[in-house]
Structure 1
Amino acid sequence: MVVVDSETATVLRVKGLLEFRCQLDSTDEQLVRNVISRTFETLRSQVKSESCVLAVSDSPVIIWPNKDAYATPEEITPSTLCEDMHQWIQADEQESSGKKSSKKKSKKSSVASVINLRLMTEVTKPGPLSAPILTKTVLKSHFVSVTLPLDCVVCTGRSDTIKDACEQLIEALTHQLCEMEKVTLQNMKGMTLLVPEPVHFLLPEPKGLVTVVYPVGVPDSQLVAQRKELHQQFELPDDRPYFRRANAYHFPNEPYKDGYLRNPHLALTHPTLDNGKVYLVQGIYSYHHYMQDRVDDNGWGCAYRSLQTICSWFQQQGYVELPVPTHKEIQQALVDVGDKQASFVGSRQWIGSIEVQAVLSHLLGLTSKILFVRELSWRPKAENWPTTSSLKELQS
């Protein structure tokens, strides 16, 4: 979900592909840069042109943002409120009927819903018919063709109309193309261009949702300087990562590619405790349990699954890039540190807290402490709780 302030009603997300094509007739770096900049300017003009179209996903609604927000069906006008577009988004059972939904979003909700739009372009243009003219030119040149993945997000207020939203969306798309141009020029190597890719991050309140453009193929380890600048720009602490790709915001209704559940505790009823307090984990983790991944670990895989869940938290917070280890990888790690014999790999032997601690240290480089609880009323002293000092080294 996208958590927003009380003034935000709907989040509009527009995605689309633009073809970046240019011909480089020279290897001179400055001339190449000029051609690239002119091509991006052409794309910005295309977004601002009357041929630009926004189609609302799962609905019959189509909007021409640069034609005074003209839209179809005719019931939708430029003065229609953005949140009223929810009525036209079809549920599965409505797809065949084409009728608008009778559901309306609660105006008292503190969670903004997301409306997805597709960026499209009209391919037919009115004009006089003319005979084609063919020319032939022989020269050596380098032709560049890249597909740019645009992905913009705009938060609209409760009183914002479709016309207001169109102005914001076109401005956001234009700005993103400027950022893509900057990233392309910064990472250009000779005649080779890296594709710029927008990534969304949900920062602590009141900063909210922000978008950063990264070059595809450049690992996070080579983007440390850029991330440090972003931390300073948004006045964020340096004891945890915020702008690694693993920190990317996951929008509602988008299934996770790995198929694992995320944060199932949020859907559970909190236990009632006498003289107790419930503490919840911060951040996102994937839930690993018996019989997943086509591994029959019923009766012996408890600590393996707990360890995988812990590792997933560090991965999805951006502290580490290592994938969640499999049972065999966990067993091999224990062999590598000298805790187990080689025959342990591939076995069905269970492990405990000591082994979990050893694997966290060996694979993730984490220092941990095992606390022994003698009785239910006992509480560990404050100095025994884990600190973030060991995580600072992982953040950069």
Structure 2
Amino acid sequence: MVHTEDSSLVFRLRGVLDLSCHLDSSNEKQGQAAISRSFQTLRSRVSSESLAFSLCNSPVLLWPNKGFRSTAENLAEGAPCRDLHQYIEAEDGGSRKTSKKKEKKDAGPTVVNLKLLLEVTESGDSGAPSLSTVTKAQHCARMPVCVDCVFSASGHDTLGRVCAGLVGALCSQLSDMEEAVLKYRKGTSLLVPQPFHFRLPEPPGLLVTVVYPAGVPDSQLLTAREELHQKYGLPSDRPCFRRANAFHFPDEAYKDGYLRNPHAHLTPPSVEDAKLYVVKGVYSYHHYMQDRVDDNGWGCAYRSLQTICSWFQQQGYTDRAVPTHTEIQQALVDVGDKEPPFVGSRQWIGSIEVQAVLNQLLGVTSKILFVSRGSELASKGRELANHFETMGTPIMIGGGVLAHTILGVAWSEISGQIRFLILDPHYTGGEDLQTVTDKGWCGWKGPEFWDQNAYYNLCLPQTPKTV
């Protein structure tokens, strides 16, 4: 059995540094030099002996630049970094080592959080203060620099290596921040640099940190993203480096309360010679009775549409928030599909309306697949597998008065056997992952799940070609 502490570890270091500099608005070169000097001062401080790391939820302090020193007697420079786990307390007061055992089905690294600290220099005989006279008007710029660095390691790597890696990542990030501040500076106005972490598909698990200026929308950072795609050999047909694509650390809760990717916690079905074709990326599970809206009995297609919209939002294709029922209804009125009284009603919608709303609100086109009888869905494995392999978006399927979301298929090209990965919007309970997966609200279903005699329309959203 492989222990948690020997698995992939990500050390995450966060903290706030105070940057200040005097800018002469009449001299561009001097202003740039002043900014660079201020960042160099910060790099010098984090390379000095005053730098310390505080292990979160623990009394342990580490000094990486003091020949390595720690407050724990057993944490020497050559100790394996996994030894830090025994000092971390879970939020319920128990040991982190035992409290996380049950959750290991989650894909993702084990995160070790550290806080950046700087020792305050004590007053003493460090030299007399110096005075200088400035005759020109100058602008004093001050801003907090929020650093957020990561370093990946195995449990066997030494503490010394990990700490040296974090110091290197910290200095490198400050240089990237300096570059971003200089590039987007306007006179004496400086934009705050913000770091984002992105997980690359190859090599698996590699985290790349990119610094973007606060306040500059993704639409104005296209050139920077194109350069990143080229640098890391990524395809240029889908976003990888937009802010919405940033890696979500497994130890952080989503603030909106929605469940993400409940299907990732399921065991794949046993179908001989079958391959899995599933949704790519992250979506939120939207279902009946959420958002203080009682749509039990009529809102299933609205909820399936919201799940699809959440996918486009969280993959960075759109900045638009997931639409409400009212906004969905208004969009259908705006395109001429419905009359004005439709807004505020409790009327159903179907796949054709979902297609129209996606196009109207997100600019997303969709293909419609018509199935005259539910029994024919079992023969649509090739079309569905191709969709998930090329597009990777959730599919809305409507038949009779019911709508569902298809998240994938397990399909055998040899035998034609198929299982459908279904996300059911008819669920009315709370955001309890175990209930959703154990009770089949998200689960693998056979062809008998569909009404064999009802007709079905499937809305297959297409991904725009963009970075």
- Give the TM-score, by structure 1 length: 0.89
Counterpart contact for 1:285–1:313, Cα < 8 Å: yes
Aligned residue in 2 for 1:348:
346
1:157 Cα shift?
A: 3.1
- In the alignment, is residue 378 of structure 1 matched against residue 379 of structure 2? yes
Q: Is the 8 A contact 2:198 2:245 kept in 1?
A: yes
Structure 2 contact 288–299 (Cα < 8 Å) conserved:
yes
3-state SS of the aligned residue for 1:241? Answer: coil
Counterpart of 1:181? 178
- In the superposition, relative to structure 1, how do residues 356 and 30 fare at CA in structure 2: closer, same or farther (>3 Å)? same
Q: State the alpha-carbon separation in 1 of the partners of residues 215 and 324 from structure 2.
A: 26
1:205, CA displacement in angstroms? 2.3
Query: Take 2:256 and 2:21, find their aligned partners in 1: how far apart are those partners?
Result: 37
Superposition map of 1:94-173 within 5 A: 94=93, 103=98, 112-125=109-122, 127-128=124-125, 140-173=137-170
Alignment TM-score, normalising by the size of structure 2: 0.76
Preserved CA contact (<8 Å) 1:86 1:104: no
**In structure 2, C-alpha distance between the alignment counterparts of 1:383 and 1:129, rounded to whole Å:** 72
Pairs within 5 Å for 1:5-44? 9-44=8-43
Structure-1 separation of matches of 2:122 and 2:8: 36
Alignment of 1:322-341 (within 5 A): 322-341=320-339
2:99 and 2:318 map into 1 onto residues whose CA distance is: 42
8 Å CA contact 2:192–2:213 kept in 1: the answer is: yes
Alpha-carbon deviation of 1:255? 1.1
Pair 1:93–1:320, CA change in 2 (3 A): closer
Distance in 2 (alpha carbons) for counterparts of 1:381 and 1:63? 56
User: How is 1:1-396 mapped onto 2 (pairs within 5 angstroms)?
Assistant: 9-94=8-93, 103=98, 112-125=109-122, 127-128=124-125, 140-206=137-203, 208-271=206-269, 279-373=277-371, 374=373, 375=375, 376-379=377-380, 382=383, 386=387, 388=391, 391-393=463-465, 395-396=466-467
Q: 1:272 to 1:142 in 2, by over 3 A?
A: same
In structure 1, C-alpha distance between the alignment counterparts of 2:198 and 2:70, rounded to whole Å: 31
Report the Cα offset of residue 265 of structure 1: 1.3
Deviations 1:8-67 (A, max 9, x none): 732100001100011224520000000000000000000011111100111111101111
Amino acid at match of 2:143: V
Q: Tell me, yes or no, if the aligned pair for 1:53 and 1:64 is still in contact at 8 Å.
A: yes
Unaligned runs of 5+ in 1: 1-6
Counterpart CA distance in 1 for 2:258 and 2:29 is 48
The 8 Å contact of residues 21 and 145 in structure 1, kept in 2 or not, is answered as yes
The answer to whether the 8 Å contact 1:54/1:64 transfers is yes
What is the one-letter code of the residue matched to 1:169? L
CA distance in 2, matches of 1:287, 1:229: 33
Name structure 2 gaps, 5 residues minimum.
1-5, 392-460
Does structure 1 conserve the Cα–Cα contact (< 8 Å) formed by 2:109 and 2:250?
no
Aligned-partner residue type, residue 347 of structure 1: S
Letter in 2 for 1:183: A
Q: Which amino acid aligns with 1:75?
A: N
Q: Which residue of 1 aligns with 2:411?
A: none
Q: Residues 200-250 of structure 1: CA distance to partner in whole angstroms, max 9, x if unpaired? A: 000102161100011110000000001000011001111111000110000
Residue type of the alignment partner of 1:265 = H
Q: Distance in 1 between matches of 2:378 and 2:76?
A: 64
Q: Is the 8 A contact 1:10 1:114 kept in 2?
A: yes
The code of the aligned residue for 2:379 comes to: W
- Conserved? CA contact 1:53–1:63, under 8 Å: yes
Secondary structure of the residue aligned to 2:82 is helix
How far did residue 372 of structure 1 move?
2.3
Letter in 1 for 2:346: R
How far the C-alpha of 1:385 sits from its partner, in A, is 5.2
Q: For each residue in 1:332-390, what CA deviation from the matched residue of structure 2 results, as whole angstroms up to 9, or x when unmatched?
A: 00000111111111111121111111111111122212212332432266599555596
The verdict on how the C-alpha distance between 1:66 and 1:380 changes in structure 2, with shifts beyond 3 A counting, is closer
- In 1, the alpha carbon distance for the partners of 2:368 and 2:31 equals 59
Q: Which moved more, 1:329-338 or 1:135-144?
A: 135-144
Quickly say closer, same or farther: Cα 1:133–1:380, change in 2 above 3 A.
Answer: closer
Q: Percent identity?
A: 54
After superposing the two structures, state which structure 1 stretch, 374-383 or 322-331, moved more.
374-383
SS class of match (1:371):
strand
Counterpart-to-counterpart distance in 2, 1:122 and 1:383:
59
**Counterpart in the other structure of 1:3:** none
- In 2, the alpha carbon distance for the partners of 1:196 and 1:204 equals 26
Distance 2:54 2:351 in 1: 53
Mean alpha-carbon deviation: is it higher for 364-373 or for 381-390? 381-390
Aligned residue pair count:
385
CA–CA distance in structure 2, aligned partners of residues 307 and 105 of structure 1: 34
2: CA distance, partners of 1:380 / 1:10: 38
Q: SS where residue 378 of structure 2 aligns?
A: coil
Let me know the Cα RMSD of the aligned residues. Answer: 2.9
